[in-house]
Amino acid sequence: MTVAVVDMRSAEAEMAFVETLKRTGFAVLRNSPLDAQRMARMVDDWRDFFFGEEKWKHLAEETPSGNTSGYIPPDVSETAVGHDVKDLKEFFHIVPDTILPAGLASDAESHLIEAQALGRLLLGWLDIHCGSALSAGLRGELAESISPADSLLRVLHYPPLTGDEPPDAVRAAAHEDINLITLLPVSSEPGLQVLGRDGKWTDVPGLPGDVIVNSGDMLQEASGRQLPSTSHRVINPSDESSNLSRISMPYFIAPDLDIQLSEKHTAGSYLRERLDLLAR
Ligand SMILES: O=C(O)CCC(=O)C(=O)O
Ligand SMILES: [Fe+2]
List CB contacts of 142: < 8 A, sequence separation 6 or more.
123, 124, 126, 127, 134, 180, 222
Three-state SS for 13? helix
Q: ∠ CA 95-71-250 to the nearest 5 degrees?
A: 55
Predicted confidence (pLDDT) at residue 279 exceeds the cutoff of 80: no
pLDDT number for residue 238 = 85
Determine which of 1-10, 132-141, 220-229 has the lowest per-residue pLDDT on average: 132-141
Mean pLDDT of the chain: 94
In ligand 1, the atom with minimum distance to the C-alpha of 171 is 1
Q: Whose CA is nearest to atom 9 of ligand 1?
A: 250
Ligand 2 centre from 247 Cα, in Å?
Answer: 14
Predicted confidence (pLDDT) at residue 68 exceeds the cutoff of 70: yes
Mean per-residue pLDDT, 127-140: 89
Ligand 2 centre from 212 Cα, in Å?
Answer: 11
Q: What share of the chain has pLDDT > 70, as a percent?
A: 99
Tell me the pLDDT band of 177, cut-offs 50, 70 and 90.
Answer: very high
Give the ipTM of the model, two decimals please: 0.99
Helix axes 13-24, 105-130, angle to 10 degrees: 90
Predicted confidence (pLDDT) at residue 2 exceeds the cutoff of 70: yes
Domains, the chain: 5-279 (2.60.120.330)
Cα 204 to the chain's mean position, in Å? Answer: 14
pLDDT number for residue 182 = 98
Strand partners, 265: none
CA distance 178 to 257: 13
Tell me which of 39, 93, 192 to substitute to probe ligand 1's pocket, judged by most ligand atoms within 8 Å of the beta carbon: 192
Report CA-CA distances (Å) from 158 to 74, 136, 163, 189, 237: 9, 40, 14, 10, 10
Q: ∠ CA 132-216-91 to the nearest 5 degrees?
A: 155
Mean per-residue pLDDT, 35-42: 98
Tell me the pLDDT band of 228, cut-offs 50, 70 and 90.
Answer: very high
CA distance 211 to 133: 25
Tell me which of 156, 180, 215 to substitute to probe ligand 1's pocket, judged by most ligand atoms within 8 Å of the beta carbon: 156
Q: Whose CA is nearest to atom 3 of ligand 1?
A: 192
Q: Is the CB of 80 under 6 A from ligand 1?
A: no
Could you report the per-residue pLDDT of 191-213, keeping only the tens digit for each?
A: 999 999 999 999 999 999 999 99
Q: Is the CB of 223 under 6 A from ligand 1?
A: no
Could you report the per-residue pLDDT of 149-163, keeping only the tens digit for each?
A: 999 999 999 999 998
Of 116, 81, 80, 108, the closest CA to residue 92 belongs to 108
pLDDT number for residue 255 = 96
Q: Is the CB of 216 under 6 A from ligand 1?
A: no
Q: Whose CA is nearest to atom 8 of ligand 1?
A: 250
Cα 142 to the chain's mean position, in Å? Answer: 18
Q: What share of the chain has pLDDT > 90, as a percent?
A: 82
Could you report the per-residue pLDDT of 113-122, keeping only the tens digit for each?
A: 999 999 999 9
Tell me which of 204, 218, 248 to substitute to probe ligand 1's pocket, judged by most ligand atoms within 8 Å of the beta carbon: 248
Helix axes 36-51, 105-130, angle to 10 degrees: 130
Q: How many CB atoms lie within 10 A of CB 113?
A: 11
In ligand 1, the atom with minimum distance to the C-alpha of 248 is 1
Three-state SS for 63? coil
pLDDT number for residue 280 = 67
In ligand 1, the atom with minimum distance to the C-alpha of 191 is 3
Q: How many CB atoms lie within 10 A of CB 44?
A: 11
Integer Rg of the chain from CA: 18
Three-state SS for 197? coil
Could you report the per-residue pLDDT of 90-124, keeping only the tens digit for each?
A: 999 999 999 999 999 999 999 999 999 999 999 99
Predicted confidence (pLDDT) at residue 271 exceeds the cutoff of 80: yes
Mean per-residue pLDDT, 171-183: 97
Of 163, 173, 204, the closest CA to residue 187 belongs to 204
Mean per-residue pLDDT, 236-242: 86
The structure's pTM equals 0.96
Three-state SS for 270? helix
Could you report the per-residue pLDDT of 255-267, keeping only the tens digit for each?
A: 999 999 999 999 9
CA distance 172 to 192: 9
Q: Is the CB of 250 under 6 A from ligand 1?
A: yes
